[in-house]
Amino acid sequence: LGPTVCVGEILVEIVATTVGNGFMEAQPLVGPFASGAPAIFISQCGRLGGSAAMIGAVGTDDFGRVNLERLKGDGVDISAISIDPDYPTGSAFVRYREDGSRDFVYNIATSAAARFGWSEGVSNLIDRAGHLHVMGSALSVSSACEVIDKAVDIVKTRGGTLSVDPNIRKELKLDEATERRFARLVAVADLLLPSGEELERAAGVEGETNAIRRLFEIGVKEIVLKRGADGATYYSREGERIDAPAFIVAEIDPTGAGDCFGGAYLTCRRLGMPAADALTYAAAAGARNVTVVGPMEGAGTREQLDAFIATTERRS
Ligand code: ATP
């Protein structure tokens, strides 16, 4: 079984330490933190001891080094991350509002994160990949789409597996070509990891039960629906349903919970764990990550998650 490979944006994130609206006044910030939803996902896979590799790009700047060092330290194969001599590493600034919602300032489109393509390193990695994970957010970058399309074909044709996290914000309008690409991806996904309304959007029908039924008809084998502090629910094509209650924690920074949850779930499954046990590790990874500032600062190793599970209560 070859490595789990994730393709997409690698960014640094800088977080406002004050709560308020937008960035209109000077304020204290913390960071840079290694970030980008696909990078968070693969970091969690690596920390849990899974064989993991990343495809994406950073600049030659310090922000790029923050990411490369972090991923390498987590055991992630970074040989297919390109280093762009002309463009800076992508960045995201985030500030939380009183109601918990977030304001973002992104620099992705004009950064290295949006400029990687198919290369020899990518080709070598995809030729031995056992699993590919794709995030909807990566589909807004056309160069990433080219890599994803080709990688999905190669991995699936060879009998490898695919997971998809729609990771699409409701307010984000996708163009028709991206919608079609997203639908094609869902149709060949083995595992789908949606949260909230993404489930219905992926299925193209309304209502949770209808959406689940439709997705299994399309060919998806497993669905894990993430519900934030309300936990998660697993559905299998064979009709099994498992509810995974959330752990009780004080939420400090919700960014990255879904990516850590997904990375932990997938890694545990690929290491041979039954769904129920993988869900426990996933719920622990998501919960642990919201207790610290920074999008992947709380991603846990197996020992850290075991300790967290042993000492933290779950909702009933
Ligand atoms: P994001 O896009 O911010 O990464 P998401 O919407 O994809 O997140 P969530 O449903 O927010 O995913 O979180 C994934 C999982 O992490 C949840 O199913 C839950 O198990 C855990 N989790 C998230 N937030 C909390 C919380 N406040 N308390 C406990 N567990 C949480």
Confidence at residue 169, expressed as pLDDT on a 0 to 100 scale: 61
Confidence at residue 170, expressed as pLDDT on a 0 to 100 scale: 55
Confidence at residue 23, expressed as pLDDT on a 0 to 100 scale: 92
Q: Find out whether the beta carbon of 283 lies less than 6 Å from any atom of ligand 1.
A: yes
Instruction: Output the residue whose Cα is nearest ligand 1's atom 7.
Output: 258
pLDDT digits (tens, 9 = 90+) for 194-227: 998 999 999 999 999 999 999 999 999 999 999 9
Q: Which helix (H) or strand (E) holds 12?
A: strand 11-16
Comparing CA positions, the residue from 46, 74, 45, 51 lying closest to residue 261 is: 45
pTM of structure:
0.97
* CB under 8 A, 24+ apart: contacts of 96-105: 96/16, 96/19, 96/253, 97/19, 97/20, 97/21, 98/19, 98/20, 100/254, 102/255, 103/21, 103/22, 103/23, 105/23
Q: How far is the CA of 258 from the centre of ligand 1 (A)?
A: 5
As a whole number, mean pLDDT of residues 80-109 equals 94
pLDDT category at 166 given cuts 50, 70, 90 is very high
Tell me 30's DSSP state.
E
Confidence at residue 164, expressed as pLDDT on a 0 to 100 scale: 98
Comparing CA positions, the residue from 315, 242, 250 lying closest to residue 289 is: 250
Instruction: Output the residue whose Cα is nearest ligand 1's atom 27.
Output: 229
Confidence at residue 115, expressed as pLDDT on a 0 to 100 scale: 94
Residues 6+ apart with CB under 8 A from 18: 27, 28, 95
pLDDT category at 172 given cuts 50, 70, 90 is low
Instruction: Output the residue whose Cα is nearest ligand 1's atom 2.
Output: 258
> What are 41's two structure tokens?
């996902």
pLDDT > 90? residue 177: no
Residues 6+ apart with CB under 8 A from 187: 218, 219
Mean of per-residue pLDDT scores for the chain: 95
Q: Find out whether the beta carbon of 254 lies less than 6 Å from any atom of ligand 1.
A: yes
Residue 247 or residue 169, greater confidence: 247
Comparing CA positions, the residue from 36, 18, 151 lying closest to residue 89 is: 36
Q: Which amino acid is at 228?
A: G
Best substitution site from 11, 169, 290 to test ligand 1's pocket, by max atoms within 8 Å of Cβ? Answer: 290
**Tell me, what's the ipTM?**
0.98
Residue 231 or residue 172, greater confidence: 231
Tell me 36's DSSP state.
-
Confidence at residue 85, expressed as pLDDT on a 0 to 100 scale: 97
Q: Which atom of ligand 1 is nearest to the CA of 283?
A: 20
Residue 312 burial (CB < 10 Å; 0-12/13-18/19+)?
Answer: middle
pLDDT > 60? residue 30: yes
Confidence at residue 116, expressed as pLDDT on a 0 to 100 scale: 94
Residues 6+ apart with CB under 8 A from 21: 95, 97, 103
pLDDT > 80? residue 174: no
Q: Find out whether the beta carbon of 95 lies less than 6 Å from any atom of ligand 1.
A: no
pLDDT digits (tens, 9 = 90+) for 254-266: 999 999 999 999 9
Q: Find out whether the beta carbon of 232 lies less than 6 Å from any atom of ligand 1.
A: yes
Residues 6+ apart with CB under 8 A from 158: none
